[in-house]
Amino acid sequence: MNETSTAPAPERARRRGRLSGVGRVLVAVYGVLALAATGRSLVQIVERFDEAPIAYGLSAFAALVYILATVALVRPGRVWYRVAWATIAFEFTGVIVVGLVSVLRPDLFPDDTVWSYFGMGYLFIPLVLPPLGMWWLARHPVAGNGAEADAREGE
């Protein structure tokens, strides 16, 4: 049996609520973005790192952020909920900062990163996804008090 089927009914409903409908789409998009950013950064770093080390390093870092956000959105519990908030807020800050710098000082980025020009190379998904993720997390907070939620996390 899987973990969800052995959990109490209210816990199963809570997990389904956060990971159903829009939540599943959100996790799927984060997963695809994590794969795309990881693949892109690995190719860039292996083939031509010396051409734009900052840009390629930022793409690799963004990939790690997307991987952690994806895992945090899927995992239950208060700690993972907080990790999801932190990674998504960090991602949004990165998209805004790198996006602004790439517009104002394009000479600093001889090649694009995942977050350059506010994620233009990824159809602006990196700009739109974090606000959607934060909205989703705000609508689906971890239920129960801290000790109770942390105890469930270990189940």
Proportion of the chain above pLDDT 70, given as a percent? 80
Q: Which amino acid is at 115?
A: W
Name every residue whose Cβ is closer than 8 Å to that of residue 126 and which is 6 or more positions away in sequence.
33, 62, 91, 95, 114, 115, 118, 119
47 in any annotated domain = yes
What pLDDT, on the 0 to 100 scale, is given for residue 5?
53
What pLDDT, on the 0 to 100 scale, is given for residue 147?
46
Per-residue pLDDT band for 103 (boundaries 50, 70, 90) equals very high
User: Which structural domain range is residue 124 located in?
Assistant: 10-143
What pLDDT, on the 0 to 100 scale, is given for residue 21?
80
Instruction: Count how many domains the chain has.
Output: 1
> Each residue of 46-60: pLDDT tens digit?
999 998 888 899 999
The H or E element that residue 11 is part of is helix 9-18
134 in any annotated domain = yes
What pLDDT, on the 0 to 100 scale, is given for residue 1?
47
1 in any annotated domain = no
Q: Please name the residue that has the structure tokens 């209210």.
A: 10
| Cα distance between residue 107 and residue 91, in whole Å | 23
**What DSSP character marks residue 106?**
G
2 in any annotated domain = no
> Each residue of 67-102: pLDDT tens digit?
999 999 999 999 999 999 999 999 999 999 999 999
